[in-house]
Every structure is written in structure tokens, then in C-alpha cells.
Amino acid sequence: MAGNDWINSYLEAILDVGPGLDDKNSSLMLRERGKFSPTRYFVEEVITKFDETDLRRSWAMASSIRDSEERNTRLENMSWRIWNLARRKKKLGRKMKQKSVIARVPKPLLADMPEELSEGERGDTVSEISPKGGVSTKGGMKRINSMDVLKNFATQQKEKKLYIVLISLHGLIRGENMELGRDSDTGGQVKYVVELARALGAMPGVYRVDLLTRQVSAPGVDWSYGEPTEMLNPLNDDDCETGESSGTYIIRIPFGPKDKYIPKELLWPHIPEFVDGALTYILQMSKVLSEQIGDGKPVWPASIHGHYADAGNAAALLSGALNVPMLFTGHSLGRDKLEQILQQGRQSKDDINTTYRIMRRIEAEEITVDSSEVIITSTRQEIDEQWNLYDAFDPVLERKLRARNRRNVSCFGRFSPRPIVIPPGMEFKHIVPNSGGADDDSEGYQDNSATPNPPVWSEITRFFTNPHKPIILALARPDPKKNLTTLVKAFGECRALRDLANLLLIMGNRDNIDEMSTTNSAVLLSILKLIDKYDMYGQVSYPKHHKQSEVPEIYRLVARTKGVFINPAFIEPFGLTLIEAAAYGLPMVATKNGGPVDIKKALDNGLLIDPHNQQSIADALLKLVADKQLWSKCKQNGLKNIHLFSWPEHCKTYLARLACCRPRHPHWESCAVGYEYSESQSPEDSLRDLNDLKISLEGVINDHGGVDCSQKSDTNSQSLKSKTSVGKKLENLTKLPVKEETELLELRRKKAVFVVAVDCGLTKHFVDIINMIVEIVRVDKKGENLGLILSTASSISEIHSFMKASKIGLSEFDAVICNSGGDIFYPSNEGSPKSLPFVADSDYLSHIDYRWGGDHLKNTLVHWAASISERKKDKELVVECDSASRHCFSFKIKNLESIPHVKDLREFLRKQALRCRSVYCQNGTKLNVIPVAASRAQALRYLYVRWGMSLVNTVVIMGDYGDTDYESLRGGIHKTVVINGVCNEARKLHSNRSYPLEHVITYDTPNVVQVEECKKDQVIKAMAKLQV
């Protein structure tokens, strides 16, 4: 008799309330002005939801166990009186129906209840919330018919065959039985990226989707995470045409420690290694797809989409190496997290940086803004309040630049990514709503012996003394930012809430608290202490284990008890669990910081709270659980509007935005496959209300890194009189001769390639190092088909003069990467006697031209240099010099200590929306500014992509310090020889970094070998150790 079980539980709950909760002299009336009584809630539930026969059975049972105990006597009397009330209600209902009046229990009946209950059966009252208006209508959740969506979309995308790459690096990712909550890195993002990949793969026009992540083969981690490839099952089983498809796959790239599963904060030094591995995979896949759908031509990704800061940094490097569009989703942002933690006052900024590597994360997010075409957010709040904190993004400036682009007006070399709001999707196929309507709650109380309760229900309810009370569900990791301790305090200190409801905390999976991370175990122990402090045993459930497949059953259990779902996080980027809960008919209480604001606006199914205000949490929970009309209204609204968050809708918007990105691909290819450029914009993109389309060109950086608006850029200067064609190739460069192209193809056949990247300037020591390496490569290992490349910050003319004076043969080098990666030259005997014996790689110049500000950027830099010199009253402090390049602007620096640090210069240029890289080099005597897609490390990747040079067999020789781009050369799949004691003067370039160099480089890798002295025998031993 399941019905009787519910009745008995409610009767027990009424008795548990007891008289005199707060004041012995308080009134025992069931209803009292301005007060709420849990007793009244349960009496109404019993009277309105159960049949008269069930009530009589409960009274009969209470009579049979009557004894001398006061509680049993009270139970018998209360059962009889409630049964009597139910009979009166039924009788009165019939009369009202006959009179064609509403078939509802009139309020006077409830007002008469106090006279029918004895003092021992009545509880004190705490607060009563008046129900708001609003009549719920019948009807369950409307199922999402993805067939219609896909069929309509298929006609527009029929001819496309896109290849899309997604990247999510941290956590444990697999397609089935995801271990969500296992640790702080395996959470909602894992589920999001897997479902997004699966949904995109089912869309018409998408041929293949690859989700790239880290391969983990470590003790304590399931073997499935070490599998290189996993095919995801299709999202749709519907029998509709979705177009030709190669499928959706999880591709696991090995990088980082091979036998360790490490947290995301420790992944930063290993990201270049992932980029090189992913680059190898994508090149191989482009060849495979060329045979399948490309008519023999390589098929490049339509986009590379990074998720979270680490993957965003990797996507920026891959996008630059392949010259394809990049998309980015932050999920959560570093600057916002930093502010939230500082507000809590528990840690200093230095402590936060040490624990979370927060400054490296913030720099990665700034880099993603520089490189992205589109930034995808879940909510508008994320754009206005979170991305607005970044130097590289200004919402107002972005709108102005977009408007000027539409009108074909010059943006003066400024660029900004397009932020768009696409709420995460959800798969509704497995959601089975109640057969009754939204207001038909009786189904949850009925017995159905044919379908036993799911095992997870008993695992949860074993904690509860009274398992049938409404359940308040929180589903989150025991992480400080999830704010679960405040929730437990709010529940513990609100007596009315404790009398009315139970609290369920699903806090991931654990075997032993001592084996959890320090942070998670500290939160869990705090919760256990609070349960003991407030004596909440029997009222709070915190099971140790649950499967991801059991989460829907958890939602159903909470909905059956007419409970609510709460997300009390200090900030929630989106809150996918709120969508899931709504799909199962659960109203929500959620933080007002972040995505829940937009979810509440769309679904209108709950209340928002201040997560720092404990009383606000308790009040909202009590109001939503106690007010039955409000609860039913929120449930109905959630079910009615949930279709707004379906995956087909998400993917339609996603692909429409992707189609608006200007197609890019390696410039030595004549065309790309699967692109269509469209200038059309959706209605919400209208900028007619934006009157001020002027871009301020004012502002030069001062000596403290701030902005000085006292000087204006010379917009009438000769360099700005004619519109610069950013994509135009250098006019004074000769096209690479066929002979040179044939010779460069030999790079792929080199047994090994040695790259001299020692940043000690053009000094005598540098000459000695070059001569030593040349002797090893060209003399000692003669006949082994080895390559030699010079990588430097100097210009090609400086290199030529230096080599000529040092009597170093130019023919010894296969390539010269100069201007900090702004140019690549190859030795050549072609040309006039007066010209330099080098030929530029014009394909590389086109490759890195993306978002290059050209003369407009140069004009800003010239004014910056003039301002610094004027402030310090030294005209030679910062002086422009000729780099002989259109893709590198160089300045000589007289005194490094008198000019802003490189991080301040980067901040200034980002705030101007000028996308570039600033590099202090040659021991602080020179500044190079190059395109955002260029760097010395990226130049090596270009040689791999363009000419097939093996990165695995590349050896980079460098000092223990270097230019400010030093860290980018230290990582990757190439080998590295570090000569200690060399370039020590460059240490000062790294003295005022945003984050320590140790956060982004590692010595714990077999690919890096250090030598104590710059001696030939030691370098040879190091090469042997690297198996070169």
C-alpha cells in the first residue's frame, strides 16, 4: 500500500513538528497571520492527494497499535480527524460542483482545521508565504521532434561536408558512463563537449567531428581513457536524412606525464606537446578526407573550437599553424574566478596564483580573444560582466568595429571577435514525463508493483527518517566555489525548512575521504561537521556513489516528493543541471551570478538567490516548497519552455555562425572544401541604435603601463593616406623559385633538423655557438643528411652582415627564422649581386597575415615610443629601427628599466584591439612586434605543415633564459638542449612576469636535456641522450 506509506510519512511529519517550536507560549493555531506552518502543508497534502479509503486504513492502523505512549494516541486521534476532514471536503466538493462553482477546496475549510486538531497534533508556526496568482494548465512536457528541425536544415546544408575539430584537454572524457564528479576536472564541461560533438555529427552538412583530448594511461584510471580513438554513438536514431557522415570520434592525444593523471593547473607546460601531436593528427586526417570527399585536395577543418582556457590556448596555436578559423567557449573565466575568490577573503592573490595558476589561465584567455573569430557564451551576462573584464575585449568597441565592417569603413587595423549567445543543448530522448498533466501529482503516490523503485532511491532514502518529505537536491562537486556549506548552514538554521523538507547532496563519487583532493575533502568534512552541529541526522542524505545513468532517476525521485533543485554556487557559468532538472519537472533555486539569470528568464521556473546571503537561500527554498501554487506554476513553465535548450536548435545556430566566418586555409592551397561565406546577420545583430561609430585612436602608454590620452595618433600621416591591404603580399619579394621549392621538400627527408635558438644577441659568444653547432652537424655528422636552421630576433639584413663579418657560410643553413618569427628566409643564389642571398617565404607571410594591423599598428607604436622618450626626456630611449619586414616592427631600446614591462605593452595594445605579439629580445635592447599568428615556435610548425619537416626529429638548442617568447620554444614534441650559463643576461626580461616561468616550462621530460657548459663534447653527449 504505497499510498498508505506516504500518508503515514506525512502524519509522522506532522507529529515531528511538535508544539512550541520557538516559544512555549506561542499560539497553537494552524494558521496565524504572517506565519507559515509545516503542519498545514502536510495536512493539505493528505486531504487533497489521497482517497478517503486510504485515510481510513491509516486510522485503522493507528488504532491497532494504540498503547500508553502519548505519540501513538496522538497519531490515532489525528488520523481520525484528518479522515473526517477529507470526508467533509469530499461532501462539500460535491455541493460546490452541483452549483457550478470551482471544484476546489474553499479556503474557509482550511481555516476551520485548527478546531479539528488537538494541541498535541498541532505545531507552532514559523512563517507563511502567500501564494502568488497564476493558474496552472494541464499538460505534460512537449517532446522535441528533431526530425522536423533536421529535415528543414538539411535542404540548406545538403552540399556541405564540413570537418569540425573540438578540443577539451582536462578531465576524463569518454562517450559512455562518464564519471562526472569524480574530481574537479571531470564535471559538466565533459558532458557538454561530448554531447556537442555527438549533436554536431548528426547535423546535415557535417561530415566528421573530432573531439581532441588527453590520452590518460595511469594507475587508478580506467583503461578506456587510454584508448587512442573512440567512436561516439549517433545522437539521433530518427529515420531521417542527416547527410553523408564519417562519424564523430574522441581522439586522445598523448601529452604530459605518461603514467600520471594530473589536474588542469599542471597541464600548462605540456600544451605545446599537445599542439604538435594534434597538428600531426589533423594533417593525417586532412589527407584521409581528401580521398573521401576532397577530390584529392586536403580537407582542412572548417573550425577549431577550444573549450576552457587550456584548450583555447591550444586552439589558438593550431588555428595559427593551419590558418583556419577558431571558435572558443570559456565555460568559466579566470578573471571572474579571481575576483570571486578575493571577495571571499580566504586567500591572497599570490596564494591563488600558486594554487590555480590563475594568471597563466588569464593570459591564455587573453590569447584566445586575440585569435578567435567567434566567442560562444551561454548567457548575455557572460559577455557583459565576465568577458568585459578582459583587456582584449570591449563590448562597445566590438560593436563599433562590426558596424564599420558592415559599412566597409576602415577599422584602422583593429579587430575583435564576435561574441554570440548559444545556450547549451540537452538530449530529451530518454526523458519520459509523467503521464498526467502538470498539476496531476497524484501519480507519484500510487503503488506500482510491476516497476520496482530504482536501486539509487534506496541508496538515497536510507539516510532519511521520513523519506517522503519534499527533497531539496543539490548536485555538485564538494568544491568551495559550489558553496554547499552555505546551503547546509541555511538548511540547518531554518527550523521550518527542516520540518518541511529533506536535503539531498549528490557530491560526486568517493571511496575514502582521505583519498580525495585536499580541497574537496575539506569541503566534505565541513559539511559533515555542520550536520553534526545542527543534529540533522535523518534529514540530510549524502550517498558515496552514483552512476551517471542514475542521475535521471535521482531527478524523478525529487520530483515525486514535490521537491526542488538548487544551485547555490558563488558563480555558475551556465548551469546545465538546471536545464536537466527542469526537464524532469523540478523548479529551481539558483545563484543570481552567471548563467542561471538567463535560464530563469527563458524558463521562468524558479527563484534566484544571493549565494553570499544564507537567509536568502533559506527563504527562497521555503517559499518554493511551501507555496504549492508557485511550485506547480514553476514546474509547468519549465516543462513548457524546455525545448529552447535542445541540441538541434543549438547546432543550427552554431553552424549558421560558423558559415559567417571568413574561410581561411593554408595559402598554398587554391581553395578549401565545405565553406560558404555569408555577410548576412540575424535580426538581433542590428546596430542601428549605435550612433557613435567613431573609434578612438587616442592613447599612448606611459612609463607605468597606463594610458595617456594627451597625444593623438596622426591619422593624416602619409602611412594612413591610402587604405592598406592587409592581405597583400610583400611587393619587393621574389616568388620562391621552383629550384628552391624542390630543395625545401628535402626537409621532410632530413634525419634530424637542428635549430639554433640561443638568444644572446649578435655577439662573439653567439659566433662560437654557431660554429660549434655547424661543426657538429656539417663535419662530425657529415653524410647523415641533417638540417640546420637559425632562429633569431634579428632582421635578415643584420643576420647577413653578422655572418659575413664572422665568416660563417650562409649555405650552411637550410632556413633562417628571423624577426622573432615574423619572417622565414631560405638561402638562394638567385637574384642580383646587390640583393641579399636569401629568398623570403611569401606563403608564410600570407599565412601569418591574419589580423595584422599593418601601418595602423606601426603608427600607434611610433607614438608610444615617442611618448616614452618624451616622458623620460631621452630621445634615444626607444627608437624605431628598420626590420626590413612588413610583418615586424622593431625598436631599439636604450634602457630596459625605463620602459614599461612587456605585459604592460601587451595590455595597452589589446585595449586598442590591435592583435599582435610583443617580444622584448636581445637582452632587452630590442622590441619586436609581430602578427598574432607568428612566433618562432609557430614558424617551426609552419615548416612542418608546409614542407613536411619532422618535429619529432627536430632539436632546438637554447640557453637557460632567452627573449620573452622563450617559453613557447621550450615545449613541444621536439627535442631541446638547454646550455646552462648561456643567456643569463636575459633573466631580467622575465623578472616582472604575470606568472612565474616555472608555471609554463618543465624539466621533468625526456625531451629536454641540460648541459652544464657550452662545450662540444657535452652537446654531443646531450644529443646522444636524446637519441638523435
pLDDT of amino acid 644: 83
**Backbone torsions φ then ψ of 551, nearest 5 degrees:** -60, -40
Q: Phi/psi at 728 (nearest 5 deg)?
A: -75, 135
C-alpha–C-alpha distance, residues 74 and 85, integer Å: 16
- How far apart, in whole angstroms, are the C-alpha atoms of residue 934 and residue 886? 13
HSE, CB side, 13 Å, CA atoms: give it for residue 117. Answer: 28
CA 157 → CA 203, 247, 650, distances in Å?
Answer: 9, 17, 16
Q: Is 327 within 8 Å of 305 (Cβ atoms)?
A: yes
- Backbone φ, ψ for residue 774 (5° rounding): -60, -40
Which residues are CB-neighbours of 346 under 8 A, at least 6 positions away? none
Q: Is 365 left (phi over 0), alpha (psi -120 to 50) or beta?
A: alpha
The answer to whether the CB of 952 falls within 8 A of the CB of 973 is: yes
As beta bridge partners, residue 912 has: none
- Which strand ranges, in their side-by-side order, compose the sheet holding 606-609? 540-541, 502-506, 471-475, 564-567, 588-591, 606-609
- Nearest-CA neighbor of 967 among 928, 1010, 933, 996? 996
List strands edge to edge, sheet with 878-881.
878-881, 889-893, 926-931, 916-921
Closest to 235 (Cα-Cα) out of 212, 257, 206: 206
Helices (H), 884-1015: 902-911, 936-947, 966-970
pLDDT at 852: 95
Surface-to-core class of residue 351, CB atoms within 10 Å of its CB (0-12 exposed, 13-18 middle, 19+ buried): exposed
**For residue 520, what are the CA distances in angstroms to 183, 265, 348, 483, 512?**
8, 16, 20, 12, 12
Q: How far apart are CA 640 and CA 585, in angstroms?
A: 10
Q: How many other C-beta atoms lie within 10 A of the C-beta of residue 651?
A: 25
Residues in the chain: 1028
By the 8 A CB rule, do 908 and 865 touch? no
By three-state DSSP, how is residue 867 classified?
A: helix
Show Cβ contacts of residue 283 under 8 Å, excluding neighbours closer than 6 positions: 945
Distance (Å, rounded) from C-alpha 1011 to C-alpha 1015? 9
Secondary structure (DSSP) of 152-199: HHHHHHTT--EEEEEE--SS---SSS--TTSSTTSSHHHHHHHHHHHH
pLDDT number for residue 230? 97
In this prediction, residue 742 carries a pLDDT of 60
Nearby residues of 720 by Cβ (< 8 Å), 6 or more positions away? 412, 714, 855, 856, 859
| Residue 473 CB-half CA count within 13 A | 30
pLDDT of the residue at 666: 84
Listed in sequence order, the residues at least 6 apart from 309 whose beta carbon sits closer than 8 Å to its beta carbon are: 330, 333, 334, 361, 362, 364, 365, 368
What residues are paired with 755 via a beta bridge?
A: 789, 956
Per 3-state DSSP, the chain is made up of helix, strand and coil in percentages (nearest 5) of 45, 15, 40
> Tell me, what's the pLDDT at 10?
65
Separation of alpha carbons 380 and 366, rounded Å:
19
Residue 773 near residue 1028, CB atoms below 8 Å: no
For the CA atoms of the chain, what is the radius of gyration?
A: 34
DSSP labels, 554-611: HHHHHHHTT-EEEE--S-BS--HHHHHHHHTT--EEEESSBTHHHHHHHH--EEEE-T
Q: Please give the grid coordinates belonging to residue 103.
A: 471544484
> In which element (H, E) is residue 858 found?
helix 854-871
Contacts of 176 (CB under 8 A, 6+ apart): 233
What is the DSSP code (8-state) at residue 305? E
Residue indicated by cell numbers 539558483: 590
Containing 863, the helix (H) or strand (E) segment is: helix 854-871
Find the DSSP H helices in 18-144.
38-49, 52-64, 70-98, 107-111
Q: Is the dihedral of CA 439, 440, 446, 450 positive or negative?
A: negative
Element counts in the chain: helices (H) and strands (E): 33, 28
- Name residues whose C-beta falls within 8 Å of residue 233's C-beta, 6 or more positions apart in sequence: 175, 176, 198
**DSSP-based three-state secondary structure for 675:** coil
Please list the ranges in the chain whose pLDDT falls under 50: 1-3, 20-34, 101-147, 149-150, 239-241, 434-440, 442-444, 447, 669-691, 700-701, 703-705, 707, 709-734
Per-residue confidence (pLDDT) for residue 671, from 0 to 100: 39
Cβ neighbours of 402 (radius 10 Å)? 18
List the one residue out of 632, 619, 620 whose CA is nearest residue 559.
632
Instruction: State the cell numbers at 655.
Output: 553552424
d(CA 413, CA 853): 4
397 CB-side CA count, 13 A: 21
What pLDDT is recorded for position 55? Answer: 57
CA dist 631 and 918 (Å) reads 56
Q: Which residues contact 771 (CB under 8 A, 6 or more apart)?
A: 808
